[in-house]
Amino acid sequence: MKIPSVLCLFIAGLIISQDLSGKEFCSMQNTSFAVGEKISYQVYYNIGFIWIPAGTCDFETSMTTWTATALASKPGYTSGNHSIAALNSHPALHLKATGITHRAYDAFFTVRDTLESYVNPLNLIPYESKKYTHEGKWHGQDNFLFQPSDTSEGWNVRTQLKRREVWKDPAYNHTKECGFDIISSVYRMRNIPDELLFSGQAIHIPVRLDDGQYDVWLKYKGKALIKLHRGNTHYAHYFELSLVEGTIFKKGDVLKLWLGNDLNRLPLQIESPIRVGSVKAVFEGAENLLHPQEDLD
């Protein structure tokens, strides 16, 4: 039961996109977070009145320089008939999330996961993303490179996966959708205009996981008060997200998301059903927020 990684994944990806096409629509101006922002979540396994602390999930942002040769220079990468991004450097926002199980939970299942994305600070469109997964005895790495298409709208996406210490051959595809990678999507969601995010209409979300794409739907259900476990009471916007049926989720399962009512647009709580009980990521605290945070306590 990969509790912190499941919730980090939801916080950082399965809640956040819009069904828009074309580069001009995918471009977003950042109005919700500052460079240096840090957000922390406590992850719980919850069944009835029992809350078991399982791990933590933390997010942070910083400025850096992204160099287009970084991905191409790694062993095992070949460009073939596909061009790698121009060999120069760009200022970039470095977005990072880490999911870690508590020491007491490690005896049951150990998680040490990291997700990173390097995005254009002017429009929040990613250059590159990486996901490092260490879950029990399973280890892997996912790399994605995003290039604007020279001949049509959208992006050329270069995917390479590392499994069992071996790099697979790169895969290439083209997309016009604004799903992008997991971690950049959560920061982009925080900047979606109100008229789109709070419309009440189901929003189509293409989710890029491993080397495939999945379709889920996000729907705004209205405003609500939420009392966080061992925390403050907040006004929030409540959403539900359809989930992909499989080994963890049953048909009809939905993920519940409470998004902060202030201009920071922080995810305050995410609740995911599992086969028995639920997993919850609960907001613990934040540093260097761009706007004052609203609560009722």
> What's the token pair of residue 6?
């499941």
> What's the token pair of residue 138?
């399973």
Q: Which of 102, 112, 116, 9 is nearest to 52 (CA)?
A: 102
Burial 166-178 (b: 16+ CB within 10 A, else e): eeeebeeeebbbb
Amino acid (1-letter code) at residue 93 = L
How many domains is the chain built from? 1
Domain that includes residue 107, residue range: 3-74+88-287
User: Residue 36 has what pLDDT?
Assistant: 97
Q: Which of 278, 285, 288, 291 is nearest to 230 (CA)?
A: 285
2 burial class (0-12, 13-18, 19+ CB within 10 angstroms)?
A: buried
Whether 100 is in a domain gets the answer yes
Spatial contact of 17 and 206, defined as CB atoms under 8 Å apart? yes
The reply to whether the predicted model has a pTM over 0.85 is: no
Whether 7 is in a domain gets the answer yes
Whether 203 is in a domain gets the answer yes
Whether 11 is in a domain gets the answer yes
Task: Return the number of other C-beta atoms located less than 10 Å from residue 156's C-beta.
Answer: 19
Whether 21 is in a domain gets the answer yes
Whether 80 is in a domain gets the answer no
Whether 293 is in a domain gets the answer no
* Range 284-288 contact pairs with CB under 8 angstroms and sequence separation of 24 or more: 284/40, 284/41, 284/42, 284/56, 284/231, 285/39, 285/40, 286/37, 286/38, 286/39, 286/40, 287/36, 287/37, 287/38, 288/34, 288/36, 288/37, 288/38
pLDDT in tens, the chain (297 residues): 454 454 455 554 444 444 444 444 578 899 999 999 999 999 998 888 889 898 999 999 999 999 875 444 444 434 444 444 445 788 999 999 999 989 888 887 888 999 999 999 999 999 999 999 888 888 899 998 988 877 777 788 888 999 888 999 998 888 877 768 878 888 888 888 888 778 877 777 666 667 666 677 778 899 999 999 988 899 999 998 876 554 444 556 788 999 999 999 999 999 887 777 788 999 999 999 999 988 765
- Residue 187: what are its φ and ψ, rounded to 5°? -70, -30
Whether 125 is in a domain gets the answer yes
Spatial contact of 224 and 258, defined as CB atoms under 8 Å apart? yes
Looking at the DSSP assignment, which residues form a beta bridge with residue 167?
162
Spatial contact of 5 and 142, defined as CB atoms under 8 Å apart? no
